[in-house]
Structure 1
Amino acid sequence: MIRILKSINRSKCQQRNNVLFTDDSIDELIEEIRKEQELEIVKLNIKPSGHYGYDEQYIFINGELFMRMTIIDNKNNLVINNELIHKYDFNQDTIQDFLERSLKDLEVTSITTDGNNSYPCIIEVLGAIHHRCVFHIMKNLMDDIKKDIRTLENRIEYINSKKEENKARLE
């Protein structure tokens, strides 16, 4: 049950900030918000685009690592589904199950992901086109370039040190 602290001469915003939640009330509130959002989506006649984005986020809760899996409609910027699971339960089968459940009864044309090697197989099973996120493509390219630059810088440093050694020997 949600309890609201009553106060004198406080704004509605301040009063809203004083809502105390129990474990059950958080679930009730989330469900209420979800229903309101679904009604608004229907009211605004927003249809799924068929183009989705999937990613995970690492979250620590009480020192335990969890994964937040999220699928978003790329065109409408709507969260289709997200789920929090323990890191130990996170694997390729979990991802595939999450995507299948999340996209059930929706038209799926494409799914955009980062560069994880397991995604192409999963997305092929779903019958969609796999796109890699441009940000991750650029990041991976830059990581490779940075490695090459470091290698060249180390080589130049080594050559310069040998040059100094040889110069000292010649003198």
Structure 2
Amino acid sequence: MRTVIGSGLPEASRLIISEGRSDEPLTDHAWILKGVTSNTRYTERPEVEALASKQVGLARPDATCAALIPIRKTAAWWDLAQNERRAIFEEQSHHIKIGLDYLPAVARRLHHSRELAEPFDFLTWFEFAPQHANEFEDMVDRLRQTPEWRYVDREIDIRLSRHHEAMKS
């Protein structure tokens, strides 16, 4: 776990992912992050179609590497109108094009947290096979160099590998 910008999170030795609602008591955890998947945002029809044609699902057996990158953007970002955010996101930063360059090697899922009053706006989850680790690093480096990233004021980069027991199930 590496704090890229802003405050970090307490160290944790492992990550448990719980999809959907859980009645499990939320105790004995170093931290808990919550997010929801949603409809595709900031995309136009050709981009949605391009993503759908190249994207693969999560939990592929060979994709034993993962990254969880929680991100919070500044108030200045959220003060922009949606069309202004879209212009920065895609027309200046080319966020979707960059992501497309790494599909299908890197699978991803975005969770929205801002509406849940969580400490991050987005929880970005990525999975990839070990042989695609350099591609993943290149993608993340490219994204962090874009105009959009000037609006990020908190980012944690958490790298994981699938536990052997989880691989058997």
Instruction: Determine if the TM-score, normalized by the shorter chain, exceeds 0.5.
Output: no
Q: TM-score, normalised by structure 1?
A: 0.22
Q: Could you say which structure has the larger radius of gyration?
A: 1
TM-score relative to the length of structure 2: 0.22
Name which structure has the greater RCO, CA cutoff 8 Å, separation 6+.
Answer: 2
